Amino acid sequence: MFPRRHLVLALASAFPVLALADTPAVSLDTVVVTGSRIEHNSFDLPAAIDFVGAERIGADQARVNASEALVAIPGITVQNRQNYAQDLQISSRGFGARSAFGVRGMRLVADGIPASMPDGQGQAASFNLDRADRIEVMRGPLSSVYGNHAGGVIQLFTKDGKGAPSIEGNFSAGSYGSWKTDLASQGEIGGVGYVIDASRFHTDGYREHSSVTRDQTYAKLNFSPDSDSKITVLANGFSQPKAQDPLGLKWDAYKSNPRGVDPVALQYDTRKSIEQMQGGVSYERRFGQDSLLLSVYAVQRSVTQYQSIPKSTQLITSTAPATSANRKSSGGVIDFDRDYSGFNGRYTLKRDLAGGVLTTTFGFDYERSTDDRRGYENYVGNTLGVKGNLRRNEEDRVSSFDQYLQTEWQGERWGASLGVRHSKVAFEVDDHYIAVGNGNDSGSVDYSHTTPVLALMYKASPVLNFYVSAASGFETPTLNELFYSGPNNSFSYGLQPSTSKHLEAGAKAFIGDSSRLDVAIFQVRSENELVVASSSGGRSSFVNAGQTLRRGIELAFDTSWQGGFTSRLAYTGLNAVYDSSFTSSAGVIESGNRLPGIPRSTLFGEVAWRHQASGFHTALEAIARDKVYVEDRNTQQAAPAYAIANLRFGLERQYGVCSV
């Protein structure tokens, strides 16, 4: 949220019913569910997986952007563009790095409800960090069992309401007119746990024309009809009435004024508004060692975005021929209402087998989204940045139906995991805007793929595990990538899905009584990688490239020292290149060129200290990141390497406890 080189003043107000909670020491063997879909010690899971607990998420942070919590995770790159009209750019081992806005190439899930659409595009802005209990982040082959676009998986879990009812209030403020307020209540009444939260965030923005106000609401109920079952009801809202978009700057403009804005952003008043409501219900039941989970959810999202598409590329004159590209323009205002929903279920069996435990999970996921999408000119006469004539009117539908099977056998020394998932993703377009020079773009296209995964683990000793894993991946184009990739910016039905083969080997070790080391080396080969064919006027079109190759190493080292000190070191080395040449509008892209948006190396280090008696805590963290190429030819000025250091500190005190 706030630029880190500026000190953030945090003011926390706690009502008398709140007690100071003891902050737990660093947990070196956390329990996770991502990967195997059941509770599992992360040390014994044959995958690169990290856990971010509530104490890290709320460690003197503004709790506005997921980048605050994910910065310490190896393999994950989060670009906080300080642009709330575009959201964060999150990539896992390079998957998702090309996204111009939002998150693609990764699976986002919050409390079991996907924050990723069936086509793979998602937004992390709807994550409620104020009530988050933990975030689990998985990279590598095991991500494939989560289906389309699962180059990585990020799951957020919120706390259940329990104990005596309590109320909490928080306020934080910082540079550039930034502030956030949050009010929450949680507890348990009559066997029903509840969590209610409401927050407002505002910033004038570091750059010109980048202000935003954001409101979030959240409610969660959980209760147990009997000793073997649990029902959870969720509802949340997200409102961002106007997020100004300063657009990107060219290198020379950035050097002269880093806080500047592209002049066309002011001419067209580029901005974006979002309204979203969602709800879901899940039912869990145990049958001895076995378990059943059923969940259903529904989401409504409305978006209006004013872009800087030049008037000259939209204007239709009386003398313009029917073949004019302007007649195919869908305008400079995007306006859509989206309804998406889903239903999923899984059944897990546990059995003793051959001196070990066999756990088998089989299930399905069904998701569907429908967009009522319209496009308008972003001018009326000579007035720019207003809604003009209709230029697009269509209904876009995307559905996915996946079935999967995972089985894991864990013995005393050896463990094996096998999974397979079949995915089918269908796109349909009903075009209701047909005019001279703008024909009927209605049509449909289906993609399907089966993604197997295999992993083996060997426990060399109680404190040392080795594992290897392999999988096939599957990544369809998103709706936004299909929209303008056909002739004259028309919808494309010709883009192919990208497929990939993942290999990983890793080791996990406890060192002494207070340290843990995780190391993973990996290789990913992709076919038909989706890359930018051209980008101008605020719109991009895409083509399938040939082959890409990613090779890298990830390392994480955690230590809990005496005297309240903890430390973490995380390193990512990633060489991501095109493995074959291809041609785009920029010319021939040579084999060996680096993929844009992916740093070759990233290093994170942190030392933290907490004094339990007084509640004082502080931490010093440092981040170093290599340069990043911004286009496929690797000839333009790269975003330079940088290193920054951040200091945070706070004081927590207990003022009183009372019963309710």
Distances (CA, A) of 311 to 161, 248, 270, 385: 53, 19, 14, 10
Look at residue 463 in the predicted model and tell me its pLDDT: 95
- Mean of per-residue pLDDT scores for the chain: 88
* Residue that is written with structure tokens 């508004």 in the block: 273
**pLDDT value at 15 more than 80:** no
Distances (CA, A) of 494 to 230, 482, 490: 46, 9, 11
**pLDDT value at 10 more than 50:** no
What confidence category does residue 27 fall into, taking pLDDT thresholds of 50, 70 and 90? low
Question: Bridge-partner residues for 573, per DSSP?
Answer: 553, 601
Distances (CA, A) of 137 to 42, 51, 180, 278: 11, 6, 26, 23
**pLDDT value at 17 more than 60:** no
- φ and ψ of 425, to 5 deg: -120, 125
Within 10 angstroms of residue 56's Cβ, the number of other Cβ atoms is 21
Provide the residue type at 467 as one letter: Y
**How far is residue 21's CA from residue 58's CA, in Å, rounded to a whole number?**
13
What confidence category does residue 555 fall into, taking pLDDT thresholds of 50, 70 and 90? very high
* Residue that is written with structure tokens 């295999």 in the block: 454
Contacts of 496 by beta carbon, 8 Å cutoff, 6+ apart: 528, 544
Over range 492-508, report the average pLDDT. 93
**How far is residue 278's CA from residue 598's CA, in Å, rounded to a whole number?**
33
Look at residue 12 in the predicted model and tell me its pLDDT: 33
Look at residue 654 in the predicted model and tell me its pLDDT: 66
Look at residue 620 in the predicted model and tell me its pLDDT: 95
Look at residue 18 in the predicted model and tell me its pLDDT: 30
With pLDDT > 90 as the criterion, what percentage of the chain qualifies?
63
Domain ranges of the chain: 9-23+34-651
541-564: buried (b, 16+ CB within 10 Å) or exposed (e) per residue? bbbbbbbbbbbbbbbbbbbbeeeb
Over range 399-417, report the average pLDDT. 95
Look at residue 5 in the predicted model and tell me its pLDDT: 35
- φ and ψ of 417, to 5 deg: -130, 135
Provide the residue type at 292 as one letter: L
Look at residue 548 in the predicted model and tell me its pLDDT: 93
Q: What is the reported pTM?
A: 0.90
Nearest to 193 by CA among 222, 231, 224: 222
Among 27-31, 121-125, 220-224, 310-314, the range of highest mean pLDDT: 220-224
Among 78-87, 320-329, 333-342, the range of highest mean pLDDT: 333-342
CATH no., domain 9-23+34-651: 2.40.170.20
**How far is residue 515's CA from residue 522's CA, in Å, rounded to a whole number?**
24
Given a contact cutoff of 8 angstroms between Cβ atoms, the answer to whether 74 and 82 are in contact is no
Look at residue 474 in the predicted model and tell me its pLDDT: 87
**How far is residue 210's CA from residue 227's CA, in Å, rounded to a whole number?**
51
Nearest to 128 by CA among 55, 60, 217: 217
Look at residue 14 in the predicted model and tell me its pLDDT: 31
With pLDDT > 70 as the criterion, what percentage of the chain qualifies?
94
**How far is residue 610's CA from residue 647's CA, in Å, rounded to a whole number?**
14
Look at residue 61 in the predicted model and tell me its pLDDT: 83
**How far is residue 465's CA from residue 43's CA, in Å, rounded to a whole number?**
8
Look at residue 8 in the predicted model and tell me its pLDDT: 32
Look at residue 245 in the predicted model and tell me its pLDDT: 94
| 132-136, 426-430, 441-445, 582-586: least confidently modelled range | 582-586
**How far is residue 381's CA from residue 371's CA, in Å, rounded to a whole number?**
29
3-state secondary structure 8-43: CEEEEEECCCCCCCCCCCCCCCCEECCCCCCCEEHH
Given a contact cutoff of 8 angstroms between Cβ atoms, the answer to whether 266 and 209 are in contact is yes
Look at residue 655 in the predicted model and tell me its pLDDT: 64
- Maximum Cα–Cα distance for the chain, whole Å? 82
Q: What is the pLDDT of residues 520-536, one digit of tens each?
A: 999 999 999 888 777 76
Q: What is the pLDDT of residues 48-82, one digit of tens each?
A: 999 898 888 887 888 888 888 899 999 998 887 77
**How far is residue 292's CA from residue 633's CA, in Å, rounded to a whole number?**
51
**How far is residue 40's CA from residue 35's CA, in Å, rounded to a whole number?**
9
Over range 135-139, report the average pLDDT. 94
Higher per-residue confidence, 91 vs 148: 91
**Residue 80 CA from chain centroid, whole number:** 12
Nearest to 522 by CA among 556, 547, 551: 551
* Residue that is written with structure tokens 């070759």 in the block: 600
Higher per-residue confidence, 98 vs 554: 554
